[in-house]
């Protein structure tokens, strides 16, 4: 695939980002893609490796990466688009927000910089949209079977499109005012502008998928109604229950879960709420607790809201710093320090820090009392155990605390109770290999089953669940 010895002749050249001083003034997209002639050169770096680890190990969607790399190198953009969409319903979204485990698994990553797979993926689909190749694929035969999908995140949307194209009538129920789930209300616009999502939703509507918004399944519509009205039901509810921080002072004003903060920010950017309804970081010292991607999104959002100072603390140890181009843990995802575009914009990061309590003034949070911890391996169990370092307490002045410590499991709502669903030992919906639950005709997929994960896994699970539901209906 690609040019013979292209990986020797050409070096990696990734897309650029808008300058920091410019991008922190708005919530617009940051990426600046390379011209198509330069992308063909980048695609030429794809090796004719015996086992394409990018496809076999790195990509949860099993994208045909070597194939569309070769086609881009040969300037066969339409053929590349066809290959790309054989496995991925929304490459314009994954090409923007997926962390690209495929690149960590690229064979070049053994001792060199990987192929710019993510950039090429995004360029293919944007090229396709610009040439109007992305068209509706309505089913040629209709089965008259009806499927209800609860939740309109990436898993639900992927399943909806696959089921509709299989000939079934599909209705997607969403509790929010607009469709998109975490894509609309959890991902900041500087990573995913919402016109990108709306452009794809327009296609789904034209293909015949019906979206019902502002409906809480289990309350506004009952389980009895769902069972009576649909031949199959798919739950794609996400991992909605955030991990809580049960410490003294948690009840103070100014302490919020990350998704609450981000969703209101996205609504404000979209013009859906006023500034008075916004959780604003303007002129505040912001403390983000949690070092993952959601915490990074909080950092970038707070900076754009003109925060005075932003801290991000993490209870786990600082990952290994790595400035070499290759993957030290090839072909697996490396455990190394990652600096996001938000971190580059201005943030103080601390590791091995635990939060002990919050101190308030007039019922508003003003300080976080923290301490340093160290991690030791238990010789008996082999597990890592945390131990607070004595007399290591310190305080962080803060007016706004954002809890971004991950999710426990799916929200246990009336809907799940009324269905009588079984849960696994983590509190997620228990399913069989075919995505079916203990209730006949009711399926579940995505984060509500496997826990919070990557968008590419959500899309894959949605596609596979649709495949199993199609078998069930037929």
pLDDT given at position 258: 98
Q: What mean pLDDT comes out for the span 161-179?
A: 98
Within the chain, all domains assigned CATH 3.50.50.60 are found at: 146-240+408-473, 244-405
Is residue 1 predicted with pLDDT exceeding 70? Answer: no
pLDDT given at position 257: 98
Within the chain, all domains assigned CATH 1.10.1060.10 are found at: 6-130
List pLDDT tens digits, range 327-337: 999 999 999 99
List pLDDT tens digits, range 95-119: 999 999 999 999 999 999 999 999 9
pLDDT given at position 352: 97
Q: What mean pLDDT comes out for the span 361-379?
A: 95
Q: Is the dihedral of CA 345, 350, 356, 361 positive or negative?
A: negative
Q: What mean pLDDT comes out for the span 197-212?
A: 98
Tell whether omega for the bond before 184 is within 30 degrees of 0, i.e. cis. no
How far apart are alpha carbons 99 and 95 in whole angstroms? Answer: 9
The CATH class of the 244-405 domain is alpha beta
Q: Which fold has domain 146-240+408-473?
A: FAD/NAD(P)-binding domain (3.50.50)
Question: What CATH architecture applies to the domain 6-130?
Answer: Orthogonal Bundle (1.10)
List pLDDT tens digits, range 6-63: 999 999 999 999 999 999 999 999 999 999 999 999 999 999 888 999 999 999 999 9
Would you tell me how many other CB atoms lie within 10 Å of the CB of residue 380?
6
Is residue 2 predicted with pLDDT exceeding 90? Answer: no
Mean pLDDT score across all residues of the chain: 96
> Predicted confidence band at 166 (pLDDT cuts at 50, 70, 90)?
very high
pLDDT given at position 48: 83
Q: What is the CA radius of gyration of the chain?
A: 23
> Predicted confidence band at 386 (pLDDT cuts at 50, 70, 90)?
very high
Name the H helices within 231-319. Answer: 258-269, 293-304
Is residue 382 predicted with pLDDT exceeding 90? Answer: no
* DSSP three-state, residue 419: helix
DSSP structure class, residue 51: S
Kindly report the backbone phi and psi dihedral angles of residue 208, in degrees, each rounded to the nearest multiple of 5, phi listed first: 110, 5
Q: What percent of the chain has pLDDT over 90?
A: 96
> Predicted confidence band at 71 (pLDDT cuts at 50, 70, 90)?
very high
**CB-CB contact of 445 with 462 (8 Å):** yes
> Predicted confidence band at 378 (pLDDT cuts at 50, 70, 90)?
confident
């Amino acid at each position: 695939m690609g040019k013979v010895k292209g990986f020797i002749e050409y070096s990696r050249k990734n897309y650029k980002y808008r300058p920091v001083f410019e991008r922190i003034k708005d919530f617009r997209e940051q990426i600046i893609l390379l011209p198509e002639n330069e992308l063909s050169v980048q695609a030429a770096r794809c090796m004719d490796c015996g086992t394409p680890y990018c496809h076999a190990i790195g990509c949860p969607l099993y994208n045909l990466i070597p194939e569309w790399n070769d086609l881009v190198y040969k300037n066969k953009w339409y053929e590349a688009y066809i290959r790309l969409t054989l496995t991925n319903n929304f490459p314009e979204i994954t090409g923007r927000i997926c962390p690209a485990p495929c690149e960590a698994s690229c064979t070049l990553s053994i001792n060199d910089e990987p192929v710019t797979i993510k950039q090429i993926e995004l360029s293919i689909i944007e090229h396709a949209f610009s040439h109007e190749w992305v068209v509706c694929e309505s089913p040629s035969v209709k089965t008259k079977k009806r499927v209800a999908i609860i939740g309109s995140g990436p898993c639900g949307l992927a399943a909806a499109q696959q089921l509709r194209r299989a000939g079934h009538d599909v209705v997607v129920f969403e509790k929010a005012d607009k469709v998109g789930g975490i894509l609309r209300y959890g991902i900041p616009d500087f990573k995913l502008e919402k016109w990108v999502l709306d452009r794809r939703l327009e296609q789904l509507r034209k293909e015949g998928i019906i979206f019902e918004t502002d409906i809480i399944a289990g309350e506004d519509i009952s389980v009895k109604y769902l069972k009576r009205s649909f031949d199959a039901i798919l739950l794609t509810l996400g991992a909605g229950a955030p991990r809580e921080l049960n410490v003294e002072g948690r009840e103070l004003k100014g302490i919020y879960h990350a998704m609450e903060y981000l969703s209101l920010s996205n609504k404000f950017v979209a013009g859906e709420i006023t500034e008075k309804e916004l959780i604003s970081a303007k002129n505040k010292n912001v403390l983000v607790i949690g070092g993952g991607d959601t915490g990074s999104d909080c950092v970038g959002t707070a900076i754009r809201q003109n925060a005075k100072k932003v801290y991000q603390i993490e209870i786990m140890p600082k990952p290994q710093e790595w400035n070499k181009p290759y993957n030290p843990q090839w072909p697996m995802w490396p455990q190394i320090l990652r600096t996001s575009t938000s971190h580059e914009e201005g943030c103080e990061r601390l590791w091995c820090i635990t939060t002990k309590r919050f101190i308030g003034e007039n019922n508003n949070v003003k300080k976080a009392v923290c301490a340093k911890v160290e991690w030791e391996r238990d010789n008996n169990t082999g597990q890592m155990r945390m131990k607070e370092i004595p007399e290591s307490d310190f305080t962080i002045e803060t007016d706004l605390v954002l809890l971004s410590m991950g999710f426990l499991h799916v929200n246990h709502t009336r809907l799940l109770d009324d269905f009588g669903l079984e849960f696994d030992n983590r509190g997620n919906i228990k399913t069989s290999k075919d995505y079916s639950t203990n209730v006949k005709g009711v399926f579940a997929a995505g984060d509500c089953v496997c826990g919070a994960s990557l968008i590419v896994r959500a899309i894959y699970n949605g596609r596979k669940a649709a495949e199993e539901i199609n078998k069930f209906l037929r």
